[in-house]
Chains A and B, each alone.
Chain A
Amino acid sequence: MTAPFDLTDDGVVVIIGTGAGGGVLANELAKKGVSVVALEAGGRYLPDDYINDEWDSFGQLAWTDPRTTSGDWRVAKDFSGLPAWIVKAVGGTTTHWAGASLRFQDHEWKAKTTYGEVAGANLLDWPIDPREMDDYYTKAEDKLGVTRTNGRAGLPGNNNFKVFEKGARALGYEEVHTGRMAINSADNDGRMACQQTGFCFQGCKWGAKWSAAYTDIPRGEATGNLEVRENCHAARILHDADGKVTGVEYFDADGNLQLQKARVVCVAGNSFESPRLLLNSASSMFPDGLANSSGQVGRNYMRHTTGSVYAVFDQPVRMWRGTTMAGIIQDEARNDPSRGFVGGYELETLALGLPFMAAFLDPGAWGREFTTALDHYENMAGMWIVGEDMPQETNRVTLNSDVKDAHGLPVVNVHFDDHPNDIAMRDHAYKQGMAIYDAVGATRVFPTPPYPSTHNLGTNRMSANAQDGVVNAHGQSHDIANLFVSDGSQFTTGAAENPTLTIVALAIRQADFIAAEMSRQNI
């Protein structure tokens, strides 16, 4: 029962992108009776369509439209056209995600106050009180069915976790468990329990892992208030002489340009496409792009301080069996500047299949030093580092007019340099990660460089003051009252935790705000 809305219907909320932010917002608004048109650049794929094969799945779901890169991060050298690993499909990157769902720690909402001045970092406090988020986090955890929250049981640990846990305990770590995961440990919400298939990154064929593609999207559609237009690429947001947005131009599935009128526009295309759309919507009234009076659109790009540690043992581990992210160590997530950096990091198990391991273990490497590592693939264990990185004004997404996409639109260039704090944190995490595996008898360890970014944040950040950022505490743009940002690009700072639970909690909160402002006729 999908609602077909007319292109000239100027009473609808248009949401651009249907991932963690846009997909949830669409359903939450539709449930409140608000009419929603969601434009999604990708197609619709459901569990039956997902493929248990790393490269085939990547070809099916990943965003592979052109992008360019610069800066000192190794991704710019090894994967110059692929700065991020994100999805172009209904449900967005929640099809690929591993499901780790952690709340921010209280102090992380107040990074500037907690960390003080950090040279070269453009730190700011979130304009949100952590206590305000408690209920929204609970709602988000219940929506996603997060394990180890609100009475739900944890998942069982797989082989990769058991190696990790034993090493962690040997080092004296105490907060070690199988994670808070948006993966069912028992049948829940009409979806079955995890079967330990091991292809969480390729779309869960059982539907045990939460994805907006088969939860929030169809539920929103079932209300009769949501129309999802797939294979529709938003090109430009239009405004009137009063500076209010009035609609969205998009290329439909046949490549024809269409114009959908709108009462409110919410941008949720992930942290490259959202600023790209605002910048590509520049007009004579807004020559620097929409919502950009601060000049902060596209700046402060954050990707988490990441890296992996893999290790080889003298006996089999078979890390690929079971949940891809099967457990966590949280002891290092605290802020303890005596370690030589501010902020903290999480360590989470991670497994790649042989094809991705060959591509990502040490990109560009060849010869026996490399191949003898893969020879022992069966005996490998792996973990991923995710820590808070510093927002820097010069880490930014800009339009690259020399390169155009299939629609003739300028693509983004993504510039990133590591901050010294990021490097100090990564080095600390590598050391700890290697010590964990050494404690279980690793014969060889690999401090593996970051992959193309899976967490992309900050390029339309939230701020109390209009001159410091792009949106206010509700994701509403400082400059244009009926223009919102609804994805991870609104993050003021990144915190140590995987971002999606917070993106979802903010989307639920934003839906309350938008519905209330609409009924008050403020927007």
Chain B
Amino acid sequence: MSNTMKTLTRRQLLSQSAALGASFAIGAGFVAGRAEAENWAMEVDHLAPGTMAVLIQMARDIYPHDQVADRFYALAVKGYDTAEAAPAIEAGVAMLNEAARETGHAGYLDMGWERDRVAVLRGIEDSAFFQQVRGGLVTGLYNQKAVWPIFGYEGESYSEGGYLYRGFDDINWL
């Protein structure tokens, strides 16, 4: 995580924030976790910080795991912050915000209930933008090694000698 995170302190970040979305602090060139426990911030070079914030929320709404912190979702979509990818993502997020406005909200991040955001996502799920983001998350989120322990998955086992002596047959409730 650290290589993508800004070295500023949270206090500095929050004081620079132009806007506080539903769950993120959005400032000039960065998005940050808003909660005290969410001690992370991500610099963006090509996407507007507000766009990145929507993208992170959208990622969570597509694959919601309440036990997985925002920073993992942020890392999962960080790859779109390139000169090449940014225009299509900006256009997609603009479409998403517009769809949210049509339901009477100020924007995607202003919809408090997941069910309202999901309804908007259902409306655009056949779009290339949605499919790009969803498809990218399959590896972007679930192939993060740091996420695996949250699901109990143990990953590589050869260096530990496999499971022959580490519980391959330890089930005790059958």
Report whether A198 and B162 are in contact in the complex, using a CB–CB cutoff of 8 Å.
yes
Contact of A166 among B63, B139, B162, B174 (CB under 8 A): B174
Q: Does B67 contact A (CB under 8 A)?
A: yes
Main secondary structure of the interface of B (DSSP, over half): loop
Report whether A197 and B162 are in contact in the complex, using a CB–CB cutoff of 8 Å.
yes
Report whether B153 and A353 are in contact in the complex, using a CB–CB cutoff of 8 Å.
yes
CB 8 Å contact bits of B138-174 with A (1 = contact, 0 = none): 1101110001100111111110011110111111011
In the complex, chain B residues whose CB is within 8 Å of the CB of A156 = 168-169
From residue 62 to 80 of chain B, which have CB atoms closer than 8 A to chain A? 62-65, 67
Report whether B65 and A198 are in contact in the complex, using a CB–CB cutoff of 8 Å.
no
Interface size class of B (residues with CB under 8 A): 35 or more
Report whether B138 and A197 are in contact in the complex, using a CB–CB cutoff of 8 Å.
no
CB 8 Å contact bits of B26-59 with A (1 = contact, 0 = none): 0000000000000000000000000000000000
CB 8 Å contact bits of A183-194 with B (1 = contact, 0 = none): 000000000001
Report whether A158 and B64 are in contact in the complex, using a CB–CB cutoff of 8 Å.
no
Measured CB to CB, the closest approach of chain B to A12, in angstroms, equals: 38
Q: Does A377 contact B (CB under 8 A)?
A: yes
Report whether A195 and B162 are in contact in the complex, using a CB–CB cutoff of 8 Å.
yes
Alpha-carbon distance A53/B159, docked complex (angstroms) = 12
Interface size class of A (residues with CB under 8 A): 35 or more
Contact of B169 among A195, A322, A368 (CB under 8 A): A322
Q: Which of B134, B139, B153, B167: most chain A CB closer than 10 A? A: B153
Q: Does A52 contact B (CB under 8 A)?
A: yes
Report whether A158 and B169 are in contact in the complex, using a CB–CB cutoff of 8 Å.
yes
Contact of B64 among A194, A359, A367 (CB under 8 A): A367
Q: Does A112 contact B (CB under 8 A)?
A: no
Known contacts A371-B63, A440-B174; decide if A196 and B158 are in contact (CB<8 Å).
no
In the complex, chain B residues whose CB is within 8 Å of the CB of A315 = 173
Measured CB to CB, the closest approach of chain A to B7, in angstroms, equals: 30
Measured CB to CB, the closest approach of chain B to A495, in angstroms, equals: 31
Q: Does B118 contact A (CB under 8 A)?
A: yes
Measured CB to CB, the closest approach of chain B to A338, in angstroms, equals: 32
Report whether A322 and B168 are in contact in the complex, using a CB–CB cutoff of 8 Å.
yes
Alpha-carbon distance A123/B161, docked complex (angstroms) = 47
Q: Does A133 contact B (CB under 8 A)?
A: no
Alpha-carbon distance A468/B69, docked complex (angstroms) = 60
Alpha-carbon distance A196/B166, docked complex (angstroms) = 9
Q: Does A375 contact B (CB under 8 A)?
A: yes
Measured CB to CB, the closest approach of chain A to B137, in angstroms, equals: 8
In the complex, chain A residues whose CB is within 8 Å of the CB of B118 = 367
- Give me 5 other A-B pairs in contact (C-beta within 8 A), A318-B152, A371-B65 excluded: A52-B158, A162-B174, A318-B171, A321-B166, A355-B143
Nearest 5 pairs of A and B residues by beta carbon: A378-B152, A195-B162, A197-B162, A322-B168, A358-B142
Residues of B that sit less than 8 Å from A by CB: 62-65, 67, 118, 125, 134, 138-139, 141-143, 147-148, 151-158, 161-164, 166-171, 173-174
Residues of A that sit less than 8 Å from B by CB: 52-53, 55, 156-159, 162-163, 166, 194-199, 205-206, 315-318, 320-322, 353-355, 357-359, 364, 366-368, 370-371, 374-375, 377-378, 440
